[in-house]
């Protein structure tokens, strides 16, 4: 299999590249390095089965060249910051919706058979059903980030049905682990290194969400992709998350313990009932029953994933 991984030098993308290469595939990475790092993929640079293209997916020509000759596209390129939507919504449009449109335009004129897209739990918004299943409706994102991900999903579905390729869409919970360079754990570690005596916590600390380690995420993506290839659906959706969830305050306690510190917690109080920022989903836990029917099962709980991620980031940050 020859695969293109957009955003392949990023956090999740680079772990996916590792797995693809270890399985003996040919892999091409397209990344502008705005969020990714060459350090994440440097082990493969001299491998004859690996190719790296530094390019901006807002450039149609770059995207068309990147899809040439590949069988499957794993589309992970995106701006990962949910919070940026309230300050710069145009950035989330360009780096989530526009680049997906450009990719789809290139795919429709190519021999690409499969597109695998990493969407987000944010497409569900403040879901009234928790755990939230894939068929939950109506989808009502409360952030520009969630809206951009949902727009990309809709474009992918429309193009797949119209231009006869198949698309697998993963709605991800909070993904954490080695190489992550944003998110609550990363932020807490940086804050405590600057001031070991006090930790600022956005919101009221009761925000409760599901976390999945990147190793479980990549294993789930590969397992479900193999299952999807054996089915006859044009487009399908799968949640990837955990069976449990954890509060922001509990994460702060785990990070503090991992750093050997006992800081004062200073809660900002947040907005809209204790959220960290406008658009922050306060309660999120996805139903993963559909994913489990394929035979996949996560190795780590949310708590275990957080503890492992703290250890990994303290060793590498």
Catalytic residues, by residue number, are: 145
**Distance in angstroms (rounded) separating the CA atoms of residues 270 and 204:** 6
**Distance in angstroms (rounded) separating the CA atoms of residues 156 and 167:** 7
Instruction: Give Cα separations from 159 to 7, 71, 135, 152, 166 (angstroms).
Output: 21, 17, 20, 11, 9
List strand residue ranges (DSSP E) for 2-159, in order: 2-6, 26-31, 50-54, 72-75, 114-120
**Distance in angstroms (rounded) separating the CA atoms of residues 201 and 185:** 11
Burial of 316 per CB tally in 10 Å (0-12, 13-18, 19+): exposed
**Distance in angstroms (rounded) separating the CA atoms of residues 49 and 301:** 35
């Amino acid at each position: 299999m020859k695969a293109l991984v957009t955003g392949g030098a990023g956090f999740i993308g680079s772990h996916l590249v590792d797995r693809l290469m270890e399985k003996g595939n040919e892999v091409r990475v397209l990344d502008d390095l705005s969020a990714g790092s060459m350090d994440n993929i440097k082990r493969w640079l001299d491998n004859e089965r690996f190719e790296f293209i530094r390019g901006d997916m807002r450039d149609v020509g770059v995207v068309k060249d990147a899809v040439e000759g590949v069988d499957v596209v794993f589309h992970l390129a995106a701006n990962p910051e949910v919070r940026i939507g309230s300050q710069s919504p145009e950035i989330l449009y360009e780096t989530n919706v526009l680049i997906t449109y450009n990719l789809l335009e290139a795919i429709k004129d190519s021999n690409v058979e499969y597109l695998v897209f990493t969407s987000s739990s944010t497409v569900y918004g403040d879901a009234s059903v928790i755990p939230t299943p894939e068929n939950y409706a109506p989808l009502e994102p409360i952030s520009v980030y969630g809206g951009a991900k949902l727009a990309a999903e809709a474009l992918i579905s429309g193009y797949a049905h119209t231009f006869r390729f198949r698309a697998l869409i993963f709605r991800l919970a909070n993904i954490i682990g080695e190489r992550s360079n944003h998110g609550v754990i990363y932020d807490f570690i940086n804050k405590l290194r600057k001031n070991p005596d006090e930790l600022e916590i956005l919101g009221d600390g009761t925000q409760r969400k599901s976390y999945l380690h990147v190793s479980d995420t990549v294993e789930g993506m590969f397992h479900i992709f193999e299952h999807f290839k054996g089915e006859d659906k044009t487009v399908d959706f799968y949640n990837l998350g955990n069976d449990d969830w954890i509060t922001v305050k509990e994460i702060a306690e785990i990070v503090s313990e991992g750093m050997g510190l006992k800081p004062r917690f200073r809660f900002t109080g947040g907005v809209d009932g204790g959220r960290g920022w406008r658009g922050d989903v306060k309660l999120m836990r996805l139903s993963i029953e559909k994913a489990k029917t394929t035979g996949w099962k996560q190795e780590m709980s949310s708590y275990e994933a957080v503890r492992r991620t703290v250890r990994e980031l303290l060793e590498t940050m």
